[in-house]
Structure 1
Amino acid sequence: MVNIRSFKELRVWNNAIDVAMNIFEITKSFPVEERFSLTDQIRRSSRSVAANITEAWRKRRYPAAFVSKLSDAESEAAETQTWIEIALRCGYLTKEEASYLDSRCEEVLGQIVAMINHPEKWTIRSNSSALRS
């Protein structure tokens, strides 16, 4: 594995940021009356995915905390998919836009789940056993 020094080098983080920015741009065209409801909700959940990945990265000394924050990111990505579906059904997104955003969320979800399933590839191993010798 490549020596990743920053969360900004993670493909999953970059993909999550891209989704959040796509959603930000697309939601600029949502009706003004949705500003404090749907627009706010979908922007918050999409941004939270990357933020939780960042928090997970900083907690990788503790595998359970790492997995917990990734689980939060997974939940936020799934929530974002729900808001995408609602925006589609309200007529604020075209089928093509919704499909694209949903597929990007699925990509991020797959990457997060892969990290959750193999935290040992990402977490920092403790040298405490070496210190006891």
Structure 2
Amino acid sequence: MGSFSYKDLKVWQNSMEAEHVYLLTQSFPRQETYGLTNQLQKAAISIPSNIAEGHTRDSTKEFLHFLSIALGSLAELKTQLLLAQKFKYLSMDNSKLLLLKTEETARMLRGLQKTLKAKLNSP
């Protein structure tokens, strides 16, 4: 998709902060290793991965499809963070910080989708 890399996209850079999820899940109970911990980590990794994959596809339509998947993973991540907070695995401060980051990323993804849709619909 053009001459620049997916690494140049601010939304990709923003979503690469998945490492915060990894750091915070280290303190989760051991019994959650294959449960909520794993789910959170997979969702966090899926977001920048789908942005990158979509960006390298052949068409704007395909890129939009992968951005949609990234948004789905973001919704999963947000739900899982809320569950972790509810189960008292995350402090309110850490949860709030990550949830704000998910909102920021969602806004950026929707903005990119809007731009790409406008590009698709222009003559």
TM-score, length basis structure 1: 0.84
Partner secondary structure for residue 34 of structure 2: coil
Deviations 1:22-49 (A, max 9, x none): 0000001101000000000000001100
Structure 1 match to 2:34? 36
Matched, 1:27 2:29: no
CA distance, structure 2, for counterparts of residue 86 and residue 44 of structure 1 = 15
CA distance, structure 2, for counterparts of residue 27 and residue 50 of structure 1 = 19
Q: Which amino acid aligns with 1:110?
A: R
Change (3 A) 1:23 1:122: farther
Partner secondary structure for residue 118 of structure 1: helix
Structure possessing the higher radius of gyration over alpha carbons: 1
Please tell me whether the aligned partners of residues 52 and 73 of structure 1 are also in contact (alpha carbons under 8 angstroms). yes
Structure 2 match to 1:127? none
Matched residue pairs, number? 119
1:1-133 equivalences under 5 Å are 5-18=4-17, 20-59=18-57, 61-119=58-116
The runs of 5 or more residues in structure 2 that have no matched partner are: none
State the Cα RMSD in Å: 1.7
CA distance, structure 1, for counterparts of residue 63 and residue 40 of structure 2 = 24
CA distance, structure 2, for counterparts of residue 4 and residue 109 of structure 1 = 25
Please tell me whether the aligned partners of residues 115 and 122 of structure 1 are also in contact (alpha carbons under 8 angstroms). no
Deviation at 1:7, TM superposition (A): 1.0
Q: Which amino acid aligns with 1:95?
A: M
Change (3 A) 1:63 1:23: same
Q: Which amino acid aligns with 1:46?
A: A
Percent sequence identity over aligned pairs: 27
